[in-house]
Structure 1
Amino acid sequence: MAQGSNFVDYVKVCCRSGHGGSGSAHLHRDKFTAKGGPDGGDGGRGGHIILKGSTQHWTLLHLKFRKHIIAPNGEPGGSALRSGATGKDEILEVPLGTIAKDAETGEVLFDITEDGETKILTPGGKGGLGNWHFKSSTQQTPRFSQPGLPGQEQWIILELKVLADVGLVGFPNAGKSTLLSVVSAAKPEIANYPFTTLVPNLGIVGYRDNKSFIMADIPGIIEGASQGKGLGYRFLRHIERNSVLLFMVPADTDRSIEEEYQILLRELTAYNPELKDKPRLLAITKADMLDDELEAEMAETLPKGIPAIFISSVAGKNITQLKDMLWKAINTEA
């Protein structure tokens, strides 16, 4: 199985909610009553299609092959004012950070961000009223009732934007996957060529006193990503939901660190200007290649106005200090 083939962040499904049951037009009859009044019950509501947030799911893989989601109809009303049963709701569990859109108009309907949160995606049809509702002084025995309302059918797009505390931003080969593999139990595929990471890898980073935070390694940016080059929009979408962005630039970059950082920042803000407001940190990776003198020299040329640290994931250099900086940034943001 190709790397990441089980990471699904986009599905399109046809949702059909249940029709409402019809009301009953029954007239009361028993061995003592030859001509009783109306006692027809109401029809049951059709089943809703509901989205429910769940921390048990990380991707939309479980919905990938369910093209049609159909909720059952409500039951018709009965005699003796008995209401029909409600159609069973169809509940779809989705990972936190899932957005529901109308496939035809592209309109965002809502997003799911909390565990256990439920929202109705496609409402079921309302049940019809039984004939007893229509009894009046002038109409003692109405012989009619309401039909149930039809359910709805619509194509829905579900999109996942990964919710993480820290998003790693950098060109391919900046050492993002290596850092994630060192600080968490995640096992990303690592190699020195562009687009090894084809999907976001998530890792839970353990911190002091049993605290933890979530880090997402997002596929490497290439210049022009905001215009859709490379993996383009598909991965930039995931950065929007991270509360802190950790920019990563390797010490052996061909350009200056300032230059590489500015290109990354430009790509992000071209895609979504609001990303400029997120807290940012800068890690200069592969710093085990530098001696103290060279590191001090490079430190003079780092971009201004952003906290920076030299790290080496392989040698374990400054990893604890980096976690401290990230924890502080996450909690300042919160």
Structure 2
Amino acid sequence: MGDWLVVVEADTSDWPASEVELLDRIVELVADARSAHEQAKAALHDLAERLLDLMRRRVPPEEIPVRLRSTAQGVVSQVDTWPRCQFVVAGGTWQEGRPIPAPALRVLLEEALIQEDGPVRVTPQDIASTTDADQAVLLALTPEHSLDVPTLQRKLASTLTHWLAPTDTVSIGVSSPVAEPGNAQRALDEARTALRVAHDGPERVTVRGPDDLTHHILSLLPLIPAETRQAFATRLLGPLRDHDTRHRTDLLTTLATFLACNASWTTCAAQLHLHVNSLRHRITRIEQLTGRDLSQLETKLDFLAALNST
């Protein structure tokens, strides 16, 4: 998988020397084309690898765009702002449950994500990728559009199944769009959580996204006794209700809006008619009162469950 082949339906041992030489020249041209293709992708791979490394080292969000300027992609593109993107994380199994090698899976996903036409156009220059253990990690650099999970499910299922044996499976998690570096870690965690949800899918190729996380959590709530749900909501949201009552604030409304906006600072601030700094102050206060970190995906899902249990 992920290799380039030249296949000739003939017995070349019977060919005259001139025709064998012509075939050799064709193979050389294909090799040159592959080399040019890989050189063009090298800068994008460097971008993905550096970004993943910055997040592993917990570099402050405001420093990330500055650090990315020194990547090959940053130098070539002369872009010094954060590239709006979505994370796509994939893992797979084949041959008695062994993981599909992440480099091969990365190449397959790069090719399968390309969509030259349609509502969301994705070109080879829009995909940066790297690997992390057994996972392929891709960045879809689509500043004007967002990847549509149902469309991806149909396209990737029809494309990847041609490469898979009957018992092989590929699971894919997609994040919300990331418009600013402060949300990069959140988006990567979101994609990886969606990947875990995708592992439970019945299809050979399963794609899950942010909406599926919400549906997954909410679908589990009816299985929990009402008293338990209510006690959980009271314990988690009680400090916010008490603060709103005593100080006439709107922390609960702020929290609900923040989660409804997929934790996007700019979108939430605009919806609440607040400056982003005012919104950050409110979120910090929510974290102080509840003792929870809203940069963590698990915290967001807990709050979402609590808000839907009241």
Question: Which TM-score bucket, shorter chain as reference?
Answer: under 0.3
TM-score, L = length of structure 1: 0.24
TM-score, L = length of structure 2: 0.25
Q: Over alpha carbons, which structure has the higher Rg?
A: 1
- Specify which structure has the higher proportion of strand: 1
- Specify which structure has the higher proportion of helix: 2
